[in-house]
Structure 1
């Protein structure tokens, strides 16, 4: 489920689940992606390169289908997966395959890693834990519905999110349930890359209606809940304002962005609002030690001062190119687009630094920091590692 251009529009009914259209329908028409006619993507601007970019390695897993899959780095390994069930461990330095297997399931989410495990989830709610070193299957459990977003490991628990509004904490040893957090979903919501952010024993999750929640990783108790944005408008579609992507955090704050709403930062401990600015995003945000970066619904990237929320710069020359969420990377900010182009911007003013292209067409997932460099996984399942010089 994801930002496929896949963010899917769902209508869930109390006492059951009814779909707004077919399960394979996307909101391409709403977001200007897919086959629906809409604004034409901007022509790639000419740039004066101030840095060079090179490919380091490339590897192929299975295609993403209608989902978004993001590689995860754990030590010297990169773990990748795709919809058909292929999961692989790659060498971080050169991309060589350490192991590859077929999970035997149609996957919807991944990859998570930690506690010596590699974690992937299926559209039927199966969570599969593999041994990180060998790929051997350690255990498998069935959850309440489709697994959405990559699982995280925090506070000695595996934390998993499902499409029916539940977050569950599992024992890493056998997958047994330790706690359950349940939230009622509204009649109409976006179902996108419903990521979880975790740190210092807390898990942060965004929900429909613009809500951001902090819960305990150890027992699932809610610490606080705050509003990133508040639904507005006369119709249900106008009132859709869901948190999209994965919240970002540092030692002081946690920040999130909504569709048709705001980007906002909150105190991590208390949930009190630090600042908020009007915007709309369908993919998410990134953060470093100076700025919060948002890719908005028009595919402009804006840098907000993370202390004050003041907009420092905005790069709008990639309009309608269906950009990914931005990855801050030292002096640079990296995003990728629907043709697989990778755009490197200056952190200081948003100007273009350099550009390259990943194999495999459309990039949906945010590029991943593999230190040094970054990796991009495209919809066709090609993972390409790049190095900035």
Structure 2
């Protein structure tokens, strides 16, 4: 990885026809040499020479040797009573959350329909007021008892005249209400006690991920790169912002980050906008699109990881190989690192923990983006033949350990000091979602719709 570079000033600079999932794309590419067999033809013999994976697009992250041996100091663990929005809070700032040193399975609960070949589970559950709220693959919203996992209610958010299905959306909790955004292009406010609908509002298109709620505004991102701000009280549209239309992107949920003074909108075009909360006007603009393209996948500039606002700085990572830190107020770029990923960076103390496109878990310095350590997570279930690509989600720091979940049905606990794997957990199902933590309990939602609690 090239050393991060400082920049004195900020750089200014269609509805999708396809949604590409990184795991699906990996499977398709890894099986290209078998396509002719589907049509009854004998495949040609493979060409001689060394095979190089088209998925490995980036240079490996290199540890800054000046940081070797320096301690990774963590903040004191704090018990968070809620995980009310995607990323935990509107800012998506992490920290060190309270959790047992050796969490064990406490219960399993059912949130509804699991993922299938045509529909996906895209959003993590949220926890607030003693209840867990989650959206399943059929756009049903369920409430579970936080203590036991028992389902309390479940409702269908699908519009009355809609017969098909849709993926996308998710839920958030704020101001005593549950807000559900859907792939049907609607936002619905629900009573958390029984799931009854308080209001529903149509937005310009299918929603990518869960809403972000801040300052009485419900913020939703649509597939055509439009951010809409609705009134949390009645759903009235307050303003909207349109990014560049993009015809291709990664399958998955993403949400805006919000503080009282700034909203950060991540678009599938690689654009990152800082917007004024009161009117949606542009405060600054950045781009995470690759400057140098080293392969076909680098053209996918999508921002899938949630942007993070913390200590006056915005942190964001894009799929095409760029991670940046930006001054929240004026948009000056503070540093840049040649790291690509689709997971949300986790900030704690003076370090940032992030998973790269090459399944590396990296600890970066907050101040300059230099790598303190790098741990290679297993990229394949069959590493010898490079088959069975694994997607790792996370990380999250809880109880002084980093937790990541894998599509291979494993959860790992790692040391934040050096990235060493400390514990391996077997999950009841594969998952493409990161764990969440609230009230000294860690939750993992599997592809089969089963929610597992560890405490």
Structure 2 CA distance for partners of 1:215 and 1:340, relative to 1, 3 Å: same
Aligned to 2:178: 118
Does residue 384 of structure 2 align to residue 316 of structure 1? no
Q: What is the CA deviation profile of residues 105-161 of structure 1, one whole-angstrom value per residue up to 9, with x for unaligned ones? A: 545211111122212222221222111222111111111111111101111111111
Does residue 106 of structure 2 align to residue 63 of structure 1? no
Q: In the aligned structure 2, how far is the partner of 1:51 from the partner of 1:172?
A: 38
Structure 1 residue 72 displacement after superposition: 0.9
Contact 1:192/1:245 (8 A) holds in 2: no
Of residues 69-78 and 160-169 in structure 1, the stretch that sits farther from structure 2 once superposed is 69-78
Aligned to 1:176: 236
Structure 2 CA distance for partners of 1:217 and 1:380, relative to 1, 3 Å: farther
Of residues 186-195 and 158-167 in structure 1, the stretch that sits farther from structure 2 once superposed is 186-195
Aligned to 1:340: 409
The structure number with the bigger radius of gyration is: 2
Give the TM-score normalised by the residue count of structure 2: 0.72
> Larger strand proportion, structure 1 or 2?
1
SS in 2 for 1:245: coil
Q: What is the CA deviation profile of residues 240-297 of structure 1, one whole-angstrom value per residue up to 9, with x for unaligned ones? A: 3222221122122121111122222112222222222111213332222232111111
Structure 1 residue 18 displacement after superposition: 6.2
Contact 2:229/2:238 (8 A) holds in 1: yes
Q: In the aligned structure 1, how far is the partner of 2:332 from the partner of 2:251?
A: 26
Q: In the aligned structure 2, how far is the partner of 1:103 from the partner of 1:227?
A: 35
Aligned to 2:141: 87
Q: In the aligned structure 2, how far is the partner of 1:230 from the partner of 1:144?
A: 29
How many residue pairs get aligned? The number is: 357
Aligned to 1:19: 17
Aligned to 2:36: none
CA RMSD of aligned residues (A): 2.5
Contact 1:209/1:230 (8 A) holds in 2: no
Aligned to 2:11: none
Give the TM-score normalised by the residue count of structure 1: 0.84
Q: In the aligned structure 2, how far is the partner of 1:254 from the partner of 1:93?
A: 35
Of residues 329-338 and 283-292 in structure 1, the stretch that sits farther from structure 2 once superposed is 283-292
Q: In the aligned structure 2, how far is the partner of 1:156 from the partner of 1:201?
A: 13
Aligned to 2:345: 285
Q: In the aligned structure 2, how far is the partner of 1:153 from the partner of 1:369?
A: 19
Contact 1:119/1:128 (8 A) holds in 2: yes
Q: What is the CA deviation profile of residues 166-199 of structure 1, one whole-angstrom value per residue up to 9, with x for unaligned ones? A: 1111112221111111112245444532222222
Does residue 452 of structure 2 align to residue 384 of structure 1? yes
Q: In the aligned structure 2, how far is the partner of 1:34 from the partner of 1:248?
A: 32
Q: In the aligned structure 2, how far is the partner of 1:34 from the partner of 1:367?
A: 27
SS in 1 for 2:403: strand
Unaligned ranges ≥5, structure 1: 1-15, 40-49
Contact 2:431/2:446 (8 A) holds in 1: yes
Structure 2 CA distance for partners of 1:154 and 1:51, relative to 1, 3 Å: closer
Unaligned ranges ≥5, structure 2: 1-13, 33-52, 54-99, 160-164, 381-389
Alignment of 1:1-389 (within 5 A): 16-17=14-15, 19-20=17-18, 26=21, 28=23, 30=25, 32-33=26-27, 36-37=30-31, 52-61=102-111, 62-64=113-115, 65-104=119-158, 106=165, 108-233=168-293, 237-320=297-380, 321-359=390-428, 361-387=429-455
SS in 2 for 1:326: strand
Q: What is the CA deviation profile of residues 44-79 of structure 1, one whole-angstrom value per residue up to 9, with x for unaligned ones? A: xxxxxx953301222111214324121012232221
Of residues 232-241 and 70-79 in structure 1, the stretch that sits farther from structure 2 once superposed is 232-241
Contact 2:430/2:447 (8 A) holds in 1: yes
Structure 1 residue 338 displacement after superposition: 0.7
Structure 1 residue 90 displacement after superposition: 2.1
SS in 2 for 1:179: strand
Point out which structure has higher relative CO (alpha carbons under 8 A, 6+ apart): 2
Contact 1:231/1:239 (8 A) holds in 2: no
